[in-house]
Structure 1
Amino acid sequence: MTKRVRKAVLPVAGLGTRVLPVARATPKNLLNVFDRPILSYVVEEARAAGIEHFIFITSRGQGAIEDYFDGNPEIEGALEAKGKTDVLAEVRRDILPPGSMSFIRQMAPLGLGHAVWCARELIGDEPFAVILPDMLMAAKTPAMAQTVAAYEKVGGNIVVVESVPDSETHKYGIVALDGQDGRISKMTGMVEKPAQGTAPSNLIISGRYILQPEIFPLLERQGKGAGGEIQLTDSMIELMKSQDFHALEYEGTTYDCGDKIGLLKANIAFALDRPEFADAARAAIKDLL
């Protein structure tokens, strides 16, 4: 019987170089997507999948993330006094229960694999999710809920993927599959940015994973890889020798909010998806064009 996925690691320590200069003053994952920060959507997605404990891997100057998910008595009291109950409910929706958040300093930008390894003591011997907040996923069934459902069906390790045109595969990490069987397929390998025309599929590694705790000793021993960083994919490839990995082609649309144009697209898409604002947003876009 598979253990339930209760914990998620959210690596938020990145410097946000692709969205500078704004990331100098505001952690990139608190940048706005319409009327909420990126992390608000990501945490909501994870909560809908049954995640109970959020482990944020942070760096210096990111205390605002911790404050965002805490209560704010001054703002809440002012809204309550003015009878602004709708706004108060919006403010309180992101407050996480006591004991459900942990914050770990990564100390140095040594890569995604190192960020995940930093959470080892809090994860213990449980399977866990890894959620990359830069990748904001819009889906009718939240992406993490789709991932957990796949895990409950096949167990092991799950990597969320999505298709790109064959001409784009050289830009991404690509999975190799043992044939394709619907949206969940057994993986045989991964390759980072394959030379054009050599990719084993057109499915790129996206921003959601479920991994088994046996990944941690592999990360512990692993040396630096591409970019001089400890790469998560290197240890995943090693773990694949002893454990099953499946790729889940999720149903939804991904917006890369670590990129200026990706963030702009997310703002437009999420505004248009809100029934109470959609007409006004559409009119504003039309005026600009």
Structure 2
Amino acid sequence: MIKKAVIPAAGYGTRFLPATKSSPKEMIPIIDTPVIQYVVEEAVESGITDILMIIGKGKRAIEEHFDRSPILEESLLRKQNLKMLDKIRSISNMANIHFVWQKEMNGLGDAILHAKCHVGNEPFVILLGDTLVQSEDGPVTKQLIDVYNKNKGSVIALEEVEPKNVSKYGVIDGTPISDCVVQAKGWIEKPSIEEAPSNLAVAGRYLFTPEIFDYLETTTPGKNNEIQLTDAMKEMVKSHPMYGMKFNGKRYDIGNKLGFLKTNIEFGLKDPEIGEEMKMWIKEFAAGL
């Protein structure tokens, strides 16, 4: 049983400055819930009970969000706002959440390497702390676990992207073995359209066997002088079976301002409290454009 997850959340969030000067990008809300809470909820819904977050300078708010808040809880209790009290308390009870500091921003691969002692000799999942994915077939992380249980190899979530956009992502080179699973032959980081072996891009969810740490430890700095996770994957696939899983759903790109606004609109339309009213407003607003 896979019970451990790693959530990297140490980046500076420069695309959202000045908002992220004092508040982590992972704490930016989609409607009324921080992005990273959605990520933790996905992990928990997938059977994960032990989560390690990799954080950096200025990320203390993440720790506080997942800790108890006695003063706030007491205030809600006095006001008899019991529904919100239960909601607030549930945040700190979702899983065993631990934190480790990435003292220097040396890349995603370096961040994952900080989890080696915590993970030990077990397979584990990685969920990027600023990426949301939703699928009609249930939590994407749970789907990765199901593929691992069948094939006993590392599994990476994949999404289909427009060929013109492959240069923005890492993509898989592989052979389909089912409708949604591809056995990997290699991984290519941000290829040109001509170089790309497929249009199946890495989508921010990973399941690795512990051997990934051996490759991360020997990976030299690559682009931006950082330890790139994809570089370690390129070497690992030469000796260990790896798979890609195309999920039926959507990755929400909240790494840029327009994607963030679109995500809030889509989530708002699904929200039972404000969805209908928001739909009416959008129609009225669009009519005036």
Q: Give the Å deviation of 1:97.
A: 5.8
Which residue does the alignment assign to 1:233? 230
CA distance, structure 2, for counterparts of residue 169 and residue 97 of structure 1: 36
CA distance, structure 2, for counterparts of residue 181 and residue 193 of structure 1: 25
Distance 1:97 1:142, change over 3 A: closer
User: In the alignment, which of 49, 61, 78 is matched to residue 52 of structure 1?
Assistant: 49
User: What are the superposed Cα offsets for residues 1-39 of structure 1, whole Å, 9 maximum, x if unpaired?
Assistant: xxx211111110000011111110210000010010001
Task: Tell whether the 8 Å contact from 2:44 to 2:94 is kept in structure 1 after alignment.
Answer: no
- Number of residue equivalences: 285
User: What are the superposed Cα offsets for residues 65-116 of structure 1, whole Å, 9 maximum, x if unpaired?
Assistant: 0110111111112212222122222222321368x12111111110000000
Correspondences of 1:108-187 after superposition (within 5 Å): 108-140=104-136, 141-179=138-176, 181-187=178-184
User: In the alignment, which of 252, 274, 279 is matched to residue 277 of structure 1?
Assistant: 274
Q: Give the Å deviation of 1:180.
A: 5.2
TM-score (norm 2): 0.94
User: In the alignment, which of 3, 7, 11 is matched to residue 6 of structure 1?
Assistant: 3
Instruction: Flag structure 2 segments of 5+ consecutive residues without an equivalent.
Output: none
Distance 1:13 1:170, change over 3 A: same
Which residue does the alignment assign to 1:265? 262
Q: Percent identity?
A: 37
Which residue does the alignment assign to 2:15? 18
CA distance, structure 2, for counterparts of residue 215 and residue 232 of structure 1: 9
User: What are the superposed Cα offsets for residues 206-256 of structure 1, whole Å, 9 maximum, x if unpaired?
Assistant: 100000111112211211012211001111111111211110001211112
CA distance, structure 2, for counterparts of residue 198 and residue 61 of structure 1: 39
**Which has the higher mean CA deviation after the structures are superposed, 157-166 or 279-288?**
279-288
User: In the alignment, which of 61, 64, 74 is matched to residue 61 of structure 2?
Assistant: 64
Which residue does the alignment assign to 2:199? 202
Which residue does the alignment assign to 2:243? 246
Which residue does the alignment assign to 1:101? 97
TM-score (norm 1): 0.94
User: In the alignment, which of 74, 79, 94 is matched to residue 76 of structure 2?
Assistant: 79
SS in 2 for 1:276: coil
RMSD between aligned residues: 1.4
Q: Give the Å deviation of 1:156.
A: 0.8
Q: Give the Å deviation of 1:159.
A: 0.5
